[in-house]
Structure 1
Amino acid sequence: MISLQNQIILITGASSGIGTACAKIFAGAGAKLILAARRLERLQQLTEELKKEFETEVYLLQLDVRDRAAVESAISNLPTAWSEIDILINNAGLSRGLDKLHEGSFQDWEEMIDTNIKGLLYLTRYVVPGMVKRDRGHVVNVGSIAGHQAYPGGNVYCGTKAAVRLISEGLKQDLLGTSVRVTSVDPGMVETEFSDVRFHGDTERAKKVYQGVTPLTPDDVADVILFCTTRSPHVNINEVILMPVDQASATLVNRQIEK
């Protein structure tokens, strides 16, 4: 088992959900955190909590992963003490809408593709060369069951998560011969802001997604990510699919609806 003490972990989408849960669990393991997200106030609030509870060293990046120039600038201008990133957690991602493909919103499509695929690629492209040079590191891509199974209305979102899965496979092959590891962690239903975002802030509709089900929590996913990153250096967990007991596939869910 690898110690994460003083390792530098870069987490995108750190201002909520799985990203915040990762920040907390890695802080508890003694890591130093680079937290990236668009919402700086959320990051500052999280930083105060982490420093109070764990005395964690934190470096903040207000960053939209869709902006390639901003990603390049953020990574290339990291202070020397923060520049040798040990673990990259590509967590930033979102879903928009459940429209049929032929009725879909171009804006929704572009936001999902730019965040889920291109944003992940930008971070990977600017961080991984340093890992290869140092011959150590780990890239964790947060995917989804949607990358394995399409579902009605999921079309473009499922396509972006399928891309994450195959990009992870391709990266692992490209890094063969180095000590850099690659993992795709693909959850089913997780109760986060995911559905709020998908339905453009329609909280009542979002709540119905999890009604009658005990979904995964962000902490459950962060726990799996921690496990993957702390295995012996010769072990690579290529892919993990995790779901709540109440879910058997992208579309099969056991709901206990109160009568």
Structure 2
Amino acid sequence: MERWHNRVAVVTGASAGIGAACVKYLANNGMIVVGLARRKERIEALREQVEATARDRVHAIQCDLRDQQQIIDAFKVIVAEYGPVAVLVNNAGTVRVTNLVDDNNQQDIQDVIDTNIVGVVNCTRESFRSMKAHGGVGHVFLINSISGHYVPNIPNTSFNIYPSTKYAVTAMTEVYRREFLMLDTKVKVTSISPGAVDTEIIASEIRELLANAPFLQPEDVADALIYCLQTPPHVQIHELTIKPIGELL
């Protein structure tokens, strides 16, 4: 991780779960970390959960990823106050309990699309602009899901638009790989697809159905991210799938 020391990493959805774990792991490994989330105070609280020497490297900006202008403004602040972006962790994601055929669920569906797809596009664009302007080197992570490769089958449960947004992330990973190369940079892109992770995103209805199922912890995903960052400059882990032992999904 030495080449990333004191470089800037941006983590979206940083207030809880996988995002919070990534903030802590990146800061403990020497990076300046800026977390983006609507609950800014929860990111700031993470300073008490990292090593004492890492506390000054954790920063927070309030940002709703459904709002493009908030994203643009946040990245302007990041570059001006902390330096060019070297690592982006597109972690923010949401899910809604609904069915595609339900009435009056347009806002739920739109929120999932705007967060899981459009927010990723906007954050990656702003990060890549910074990476390209400062040597054309960096690493973009897309926190994907196994549901971006197949739709899990849980009886009497609809994942509605969520798997479709994650399938989009899978396609975007390859599109970004080609664009980063086409634009003459050495920016890496990695999709990390976890199975069930014990986070707040799992609705109580689904959690009850999976009461006896094994779960990953957010730290398992953060640990995998650190592994990917440590690969040599010529190595790119394109897709990494992680499942807990015994998962049946």
Q: Using a 3 Å threshold, how does the CA distance of structure 1 residues 89 and 209 change in structure 2: closer, same or farther?
A: farther
- Residue type at the aligned position of 2:28: G
What is the identity percentage for the equivalent residue pairs of Structure 1 and Structure 2? 35
Identify the residue that residue 148 of structure 1 maps to in structure 2.
149
Which residues of structure 2 form unaligned runs of 5+? none
- Residue type at the aligned position of 1:103: D
Normalised by the length of structure 1, the TM-score is: 0.87
Kept in 2: contact 1:14–1:23 (CA 8 A): yes
User: What is the CA-CA distance between 1:102 and the residue it aligns to?
Assistant: 1.6
Identify the residue that residue 130 of structure 1 maps to in structure 2.
130
User: What is the CA-CA distance between 1:2 and the residue it aligns to?
Assistant: 5.4
Give 3-state SS (helix, strand or coil) of 1:10's partner.
strand
Find the aligned partners of 1:55 and 1:44 in 2 and give their Cα distance. Answer: 10
Find the aligned partners of 2:209 and 2:137 in 1 and give their Cα distance. Answer: 40
Deviations 1:6-62 (A, max 9, x none): 121100001000001111111221111111110022112113433646344122110
1:61 aligns with 2:57: no
1:103 aligns with 2:110: no
Give 3-state SS (helix, strand or coil) of 1:170's partner.
helix
Find the aligned partners of 1:154 and 1:8 in 2 and give their Cα distance. Answer: 35
- Residue type at the aligned position of 2:176: L
Which residues of structure 1 form unaligned runs of 5+? 197-202, 254-259
Identify the residue that residue 76 of structure 1 maps to in structure 2.
76
Deviations 1:83-115 (A, max 9, x none): 31110000000111152x222621211110010
Identify the residue that residue 235 of structure 1 maps to in structure 2.
235
Kept in 2: contact 1:66–1:118 (CA 8 A): yes
Matches within 5 A, 1:111-126: 111-126=111-126
Q: Using a 3 Å threshold, how does the CA distance of structure 1 residues 17 and 238 change in structure 2: closer, same or farther?
A: same
Give 3-state SS (helix, strand or coil) of 1:103's partner.
coil
Identify the residue that residue 257 of structure 1 maps to in structure 2.
none
Find the aligned partners of 1:6 and 1:53 in 2 and give their Cα distance. Answer: 12
Give 3-state SS (helix, strand or coil) of 1:88's partner.
strand
Q: Using a 3 Å threshold, how does the CA distance of structure 1 residues 32 and 102 change in structure 2: closer, same or farther?
A: same
Q: Using a 3 Å threshold, how does the CA distance of structure 1 residues 234 and 2 change in structure 2: closer, same or farther?
A: farther
Instruction: Give the length in aligned residue pairs.
Output: 241
Normalised by the length of structure 2, the TM-score is: 0.90
1:175 aligns with 2:180: yes
Find the aligned partners of 2:49 and 2:81 in 1 and give their Cα distance. Answer: 22
CA RMSD of superposed structures (Å): 1.8
More off after superposition, 72-81 vs 18-27: 72-81
Query: Where has structure 1 moved over 4 Å in runs of 4 or more?
Result: none
